[in-house]
Structure 1
Amino acid sequence: MNTRKRFSEEQHRALHDGLVIPAHPLALTSSREMDERRQRALSRYYIASGAGGIAVGVHSTQFEIREAGLYEPVLRLAAEEVDKANLARPFLKVAGICGSTEQALAEAETAVSLGYDVGLVSMGGLTGWSEEAHLERIRAIAGTIPVFGFYLQPSVGGRTFSYDFWAKFAEIEGVVGIKMAPFNRYQTIDVVRAVCHSSRRNDIALYTGNDDNIVADLLTTYRFQVNGETVSKRMVGGLLGHWAVWTRKAVELMEEVKEIREQASISAEWLTRAIEVTDTNAAFFDPSHQFKGCIAGLHEVLRRQGLLEGRWCLNPEEELSLGQMEEIDRIYRDYPHLNDDDFVKAHLEEWLSE
């Protein structure tokens, strides 16, 4: 018997309308223990920014939380803050799920017990698994919690999947969304085309995780011929580590995108905006050093704003790369209209209150 937790109609509509879902970082003290006060402050920041959800226990939260025994505590703190906010709008609690089928099912059960709505399922780290083995794992997890698929780029632990894989993936009952983050247009198209050909295409929301192409992804309509019929699909929102910082501006961007999507033409200024956001992401995510400084980069921005006390990661070797601090200085100087420092400053004391 399938006992999967179900989406409400309101949640389904919100997910398909398009949400800003930041990937939640981990606040640590200088002794690399969880800083509960600042961890709660981060959740409050995302809620107050107008985000439509948060993803916790994902890469930006640091996969090492599992070995450190922090998976359940981190998910619990975020869930408590969402529940305390008593929001009138839909707000999705997304739990990161990874590892072998056994580990993934245990994490799914933990997430459900804490009131999480959906699991973002990583397919990284499973070296040697066949595509069919991955599909069987997803089917098992989808029996416990609604699944957000996750196409992760190979350079940070993901792998390339075939079009046939995504065609079968889209037919799995319980898959409610797919985050595309291969940082590759060909592979992104594979996913969208597979979903458009699926009998479940209206049940699956597509979200960008392509930090190198955020704005263009949100503005693009994909069209494919399916049995003589034109089928259209777009990435309606984003589930992004990039949106863990300057989140209020990300929400404003998403609101603007929704307003202009149906227009016959779009100003070329949006192409310039797209490059500004990608340039900013390069400073945060450190692609010139194979993304080694990506978490520290996000932490540095949050540290500057006062939300974090320092850049500390569970792995002491995770730090900014050479020249990354100067790049963050540059994007602060060149794109002041993209940061939300004034918003954070106005509310920081409130968010840090016990």
Structure 2
Amino acid sequence: MNDSPNEPQSDSQSNSQSNSLSDPSSGFNVRRHLQYGHVIPAHPLALTPSRTLDERHQRALTRYYVAAGAGGIAVGVHTTGFPIHDAKIGLYRPVLELAAETVATSLTADPRPFVKVAGLIGDTAQALREARIALALGYHCGLLSLGAWRDATDADILAHCRRVAEAIPLFGFYLQPAVGGRRLSHAFWREFAEIANVVAIKVAPFDRYATLDVVRALADAGRDDIALYTGNDDAIVPDLVTDIPVTSGGRAYTRHFVGGLLGQWAVWTSKAVTMLQAFQAWRAGGSTSLPASWLTRGAALTMANAAIFDAANGYRGCLPGILDVLRRQGLVRGTWTFDTHEQLSPGQADMLARLPVLYPELVDDDFVDAHRDTWLR
């Protein structure tokens, strides 16, 4: 089965599942765009040393992702920092608005389809408030975090998801337990797939069994229209190149991950785009053999990710690790987050400094150097 249809430049068809799935005025259809497969960086947050929003560098990051060829961005997600959802900090709307405005300006000269994904967290009331803000700012779908529902029953979580899906198209999210998620069964995802307004799922349990549970559940539900996006930063290439055997209605076929929504893709984004395009060309060409060099590069990417995400220390230095790579490229000023205890782990900075030497094929320093001054204007 080919679950990566050619993406049209315009599609004014309406979608009965949600008025926001298709925007006739722009010709943008979020479901079709996501099914094509894209690099979607999880957008970090640039702060000043006094931990206020660094608007100049925040805009530079967004410009970088657009220029790198990303098919969208996700804002207000874990990589952005969940504290911006706190009313006392008051940055949820400003950060989403800044990204939306910067995307619009950046695409003026060369318009193309681009999805804006808003992170949604909390109880149902909070998630609905955030969904309304996101829609008002032109966001196309919501990545729904279930971190606040770790001790809830599956039935309660599904009721929450259905309610939020009435307000905004959902980008489902299977988050690994190590950073706030919980184990969700095949039965959960089978029922989740019955929600009409689900457009994609970010599968990020960092667990092969759990990952395959989601793929099988979509097949069991007959939902070939829900795009599979990897969030498994430790297995990006294996997810993207593997055809997973499934059966639905007595028909045997395969599904595969069409793209990724990843914290890892917040760095070295232009190389991520080149990689995904290579995989898409390989699939389109009908070749049955994948060059072994891509599997080698996939292993290198996992090893680099271990340093960036601070896997050895339970991911405590994950966000500072992402920011430190961007700092070394001159795209942010420092590794500050709103959590003052969130810092690089001992030895992590030295590991990050060695990455361009160890894995030069992954790094896009030359691309950033050529455009950074323009992005920081």
TM-score, with normalisation over the residues of structure 1? 0.97
Per the TM alignment, residue 126 of structure 1 is displaced from its structure 2 partner at its CA by 1.8
Per the TM alignment, residue 226 of structure 1 is displaced from its structure 2 partner at its CA by 2.4
Whole-angstrom distance in 2 between the partners of 1:236 and 1:2 = 22
Per-residue Cα deviation, 1:187-225 (whole angstroms, up to 9, x for no partner): 0000000001113x1220000000000011000111122
User: Does structure 1 conserve the Cα–Cα contact (< 8 Å) formed by 2:147 and 2:181?
Assistant: yes
1:224-239 mapped onto 2 (5 Å cutoff): 224-239=246-261
Whole-angstrom distance in 1 between the partners of 2:347 and 2:269 = 24
* 2:109 is the alignment partner of 1:90: no
TM-score, with normalisation over the residues of structure 2? 0.91
Per-residue Cα deviation, 1:113-161 (whole angstroms, up to 9, x for no partner): 1000010001113232110111111111111111000000111110001
Structure 2 counterpart of 1:124: 147
1:83 aligns to what SS in structure 2? helix
* 2:178 is the alignment partner of 1:155: yes
* 2:376 is the alignment partner of 1:352: yes
User: Does structure 2 conserve the Cα–Cα contact (< 8 Å) formed by 1:4 and 1:142?
Assistant: no
Structure 2 counterpart of 1:17: 36
Structure 2 counterpart of 1:267: 291
Whole-angstrom distance in 2 between the partners of 1:66 and 1:294 = 19
Whole-angstrom distance in 2 between the partners of 1:305 and 1:269 = 27
Whole-angstrom distance in 2 between the partners of 1:202 and 1:118 = 18
2:273 to 242, 247, 251: 251
1:168 aligns to what SS in structure 2? helix
CA RMSD across the alignment: 1.4
Paired letter, 1:5: S
Whole-angstrom distance in 2 between the partners of 1:187 and 1:20 = 22
Whole-angstrom distance in 2 between the partners of 1:11 and 1:150 = 17
User: Does structure 2 conserve the Cα–Cα contact (< 8 Å) formed by 1:4 and 1:145?
Assistant: no
Structure 2 counterpart of 1:80: 101
Per the TM alignment, residue 14 of structure 1 is displaced from its structure 2 partner at its CA by 2.4
1:183-198 mapped onto 2 (5 Å cutoff): 183-198=206-221
Whole-angstrom distance in 2 between the partners of 1:113 and 1:122 = 20
Structure 1 counterpart of 2:205: 182
Whole-angstrom distance in 2 between the partners of 1:20 and 1:280 = 18
Per the TM alignment, residue 2 of structure 1 is displaced from its structure 2 partner at its CA by 8.1
Structure 2 counterpart of 1:166: 189
Per the TM alignment, residue 5 of structure 1 is displaced from its structure 2 partner at its CA by 2.0
User: Does structure 2 conserve the Cα–Cα contact (< 8 Å) formed by 1:5 and 1:144?
Assistant: no
Whole-angstrom distance in 2 between the partners of 1:212 and 1:284 = 11
* 2:131 is the alignment partner of 1:108: yes
Can you give the 5+ residue segments of structure 2 that lack an aligned partner in the other structure?
1-15
Per the TM alignment, residue 101 of structure 1 is displaced from its structure 2 partner at its CA by 0.5
User: Does structure 1 conserve the Cα–Cα contact (< 8 Å) formed by 2:21 and 2:29?
Assistant: no
CA 1:3/1:249 → structure 2, altered by over 3 Å: closer, same or farther?
closer
Whole-angstrom distance in 2 between the partners of 1:73 and 1:43 = 14
Per-residue Cα deviation, 1:59-110 (whole angstroms, up to 9, x for no partner): 0000011221111000000000111123422100000001100100001011
Structure 2 counterpart of 1:70: 91
2:173 aligns to what SS in structure 1? strand
1:59 aligns to what SS in structure 2? coil
Whole-angstrom distance in 1 between the partners of 2:85 and 2:21 = 26
Structure 1 counterpart of 2:7: none
Can you give the 5+ residue segments of structure 1 that lack an aligned partner in the other structure?
none
Paired letter, 1:14: H
User: Does structure 1 conserve the Cα–Cα contact (< 8 Å) formed by 2:308 and 2:352?
Assistant: yes
Structure 2 counterpart of 1:285: 309
Whole-angstrom distance in 2 between the partners of 1:104 and 1:341 = 37
